[in-house]
Structure 1
Amino acid sequence: MKKSCILCRKSKSDGIVINGKRICKSCEEKLISIKAGNDFYEYYKECIKRDILSLTLRNKMINCTSYS
């Protein structure tokens, strides 16, 4: 199944999937090799925070609320 990469927005079927969000193999390799502080590093970090972390936190808050 093809999903768009959260970093480059291209529709690819390779790479990794985290909480239903895909990072393509090409972006995964760039992310692993890039140095912290680089403009692309900051861009990738913001994309991950926006698309993966916010979803994870939202789901945890919903799960915690439903147990109260």
Structure 2
Amino acid sequence: MATYKTEKNEYEIVIGVEIHAQINTKSKLFSHSSTEFGAKPNSQVSFVDAAMPGMLPVLNKEAIKKA
């Protein structure tokens, strides 16, 4: 691991990468909400998307196959 040392401290260098991708599926990755282009704003939001308490995500199997 890469480190950087000073007289008083030693730092570990950590670099993170965030990747955005679009997969051509009919529903979102973690909910059954539609991904139809051109829909009215906030019209394709489920309780899972809104992070309502007690709602658990369900993985979209079609997205896994296409990934």
TM-score by length of structure 2 reads 0.30
Which structure has more relative contact order (CA 8 Å, sep 6+)? It is: 2
Whichever structure has more strand as a proportion of its residues is 1
